[in-house]
Amino acid sequence: MITYDRLFIGGSWVEPSDPEPLDIAAPHDRSVIGRAAQARPADIDRAVAAARASFEAGEWRLTPPAERIAVLRRFNALREKNAERIADLISRENGSAAWFTRAGQAGLTRQAHAYLTAAETFAWEETPTPSDPATPVRSIVRREPVGVVAAVIPWNSPFSSATSKILPALLAGNSVILKVSPENSLSMGLLADLLEETGLPEGVISVLPADRETSEHLVSHREIDKIAFTGSTRAGRRIAAIAGEQLKRVSLELGGKSAALLLPDADIGKAVTGLKFGSLLNNGESCIAQTRILAPRARYEEVVAALKELVESLKVGDPADPDTFIGPMIRPDQQQRVRDYIRLGIEEGARLVTGGPDIPEGLENGNYVTPTVFADVDNSMRIAREEIFGPVLVVIPYDDEDDAVRIADDSEYGLSGGVWSADREHALAVARRLRTGTVTVNGASVAFDGPFGGFKASGIGREYGAVGLGTYTEYKTITV
């Protein structure tokens, strides 16, 4: 039993305003694996006051960038040292399969290195060449921290979401309140332990698990200068409204319903093997999952049969088992949501190729669903338009390349996507046509040095690399 009975506010563990901790249940069997204090509005007020005081005092804000980089390299080293412990805890807490949580730690190293490298070469202060060499006026352009940042993250990939926000925010010299989901109270408690060991100045960082009502209190707080949010599009719209009313800076990384385009010359075997990771990562609880599979009519049944074989070969079960590929949904209500979507797909007239709404045999005590593939799907169906957030794939036929691009873009979302072809240059040409924030070609992994984010209802702003770092800064121009 893991217990965090205090809250991490301003770099110290303090007594919560609500002394009653929350039980944390394992998605695998719903047993209680830990207890953790939950923040209430009074705790938010305390954290924001500490962040504001630290920012105004300037101890971290005025620290030279090279010194801030050194401190956060120390944090990343601590995370790498504890990588296995972090992965195991997330598997227990989230139900994410061990292969995914371990791969995620390697991804975090790449993500952190991209931010740290960007910070080393970032134009913190520069003197542009004047347009008129004869003028006696010179400009100094500085990039300074925004102020107090409210970073609000979802439950599905907690360490990745947390570091994608706190690293650039802290590198830029901001003070940060990281609001995490109650389900992640244990892994985010471990994150707080590592941050405490890192040795940031007092008040600079708080890590608070809290419910939605308390989260709204945070993002509505008048002392917050920027909101950085990852989560549902519905919640993103509410946050954008609050930010607009108060003229706060805001970045939103929201939902997705991404398409994988299998072009007629694609190697179907290789593509389907790649989609195992691109479409079903993290039990399907991933915003970037490519869950709409677009297949040419001439090879449609070949693609459907290959996906059926793949999905039926995947082991579903205990996320701690190294042979498990798909674990349980995080909560019973999420399990029910996914099963309801599977029933909806049947009602809409899609062909159930494999899977279905029944819970896998022998796993009835956990939050499990059966991985499912639908064929004969029209892009107007709800299972093709709405983010299910579970291991459910829909296979949609297309007539020609223009039709494939049209279907892929016929979505309110635009977060991710993929193109598969034997001709890489052709695949790149198709990728350039898609209106989505990230496109992978032939299963390439997402790069962390390039900007990540979405078009349309998938968000506002970008994360990762120098672009992501820049979103936590303000421009200041000094003329001399």
Q: Who's near 106: CB < 8 A, 6+ residues apart?
A: none
Q: At what angle do helices 98-121 and 65-81 cross, to 10 degrees?
A: 170
Q: Which residues pair with 3 in a beta bridge?
A: 35
Q: Who's near 96: CB < 8 A, 6+ residues apart?
A: 90, 104, 157, 282, 283, 285, 319, 327
Active site residues: 253, 287
* Residues 281, 99: Cα–Cα separation, whole Å: 10
Q: Who's near 133: CB < 8 A, 6+ residues apart?
A: none
* Residues 95, 183: Cα–Cα separation, whole Å: 11
Residue 195 buriedness (CB in 10 A; 0-12 / 13-18 / 19+): buried
Q: Within 13 Å and on the Cβ side, how many CA atoms surround 179?
A: 28
Q: Quick check: helix, strand or coil at residue 395?
A: strand
The strand pair at 32-36 and 22-25 is best described as antiparallel
Greatest Cα pair distance in the chain = 80
CA distances from 350 to 175, 334, 384 (A): 50, 22, 10
* Residues 293, 373: Cα–Cα separation, whole Å: 10
CA dihedral 149→155→160→163, nearest 10 degrees, is 20
Long-range contacts formed by 192-198: CB under 8 A, 24+ apart:
192/8, 192/13, 194/75, 194/78, 194/79, 194/82, 195/8, 195/11, 195/75, 196/8, 196/11, 196/12, 196/13, 197/78, 198/71, 198/72, 198/74, 198/75, 198/78
Q: Which residues pair with 7 in a beta bridge?
A: 14
